Structure 1
Amino acid sequence: MYSRLYESQEPERAAVDARPGPAVIEFGAPWCGFCIGAQGAIEAALAQHPDVHHLKIEDGRGKPLGRSFRVKLWPTLVFLRDGEEVARLVRPSTMGEIGEALDEIDPRARP
């Protein structure tokens, strides 16, 4: 399910790694133009995958979770299945590319 707001409190990496099932971590910032521009495609793609947990993290200098995933540009989407990274998109622009990555972690949602 799509999260509209960025979380300023990030979870510990161990909690992310232990999370069961499909999940997407979106790293970005509410003032980032690329992040704002990607929201429509992210929301539309996630609408096709209601069982995928979406965690939207406000990233920045010195934020440990983003650094542990080696995030350099925003938005970066990290696609996880049972805590393991399966795919990654940096500055995605289309619903199609996001949907393909979601299919990799949530195959039950395929038509």
Structure 2
Amino acid sequence: MSYTAIHSETPPTREAVDQLRGAAVLEFGAPWCGYCRGAQQLIEQALQDLPQVEHIKVEDGPGRPLGRSYRVKLWPTLVFLKDGQEVARVVRPQTAQELDDALAQANAA
């Protein structure tokens, strides 16, 4: 799937996320968030050569159950999953290396 530019209109449930197979990235944020918009180039670059990694962009906010289940406090928060289990997390990424390291954990055999 690779990079997704638009937030999902209907985010998945926690149960659906827990059932994911392979590597995936949950990106929590909001379309109006300056930090989120500023991180998009880094995120897109990190995912550009990884079509096997599912990127799920979730609009977050008060009362949104998926973000609360991951205890998201700041945007963007990227939760890296392997077979539905969190293996890494990056909050407000500043460097490509942070994302590459987290993706390596999600893609580990």
Class of the TM-score when normalised by the shorter of the 2 chains:
over 0.9
SS in 2 for 1:66: helix
Equivalent pairs counted in the alignment come to 108
Match of 1:4 in 2: 5
* Structure 1: distance between partners of 2:52 and 2:23: 7
Runs of 4+ aligned structure 1 residues displaced above 3 Å come to none
* Structure 1: distance between partners of 2:48 and 2:97: 13
Where structure 1 has 5 or more consecutive residues not aligned to the other structure, the ranges are none
Report the TM-score, using the length of structure 2 for normalisation: 0.95
* Structure 2: distance between partners of 1:44 and 1:99: 10
Match of 1:33 in 2: 34
* Structure 2: distance between partners of 1:97 and 1:50: 19
Match of 2:21 in 1: 20
CA RMSD in angstroms comes to 1.0
* Structure 2: distance between partners of 1:68 and 1:97: 23
Match of 2:103 in 1: 102
Report the TM-score, using the length of structure 1 for normalisation: 0.94
Mapping for residues 43-62 of structure 1, pairs under 5 Å: 43-62=44-63
Contact 1:32–1:74 (8 Å) recurs in 2: yes
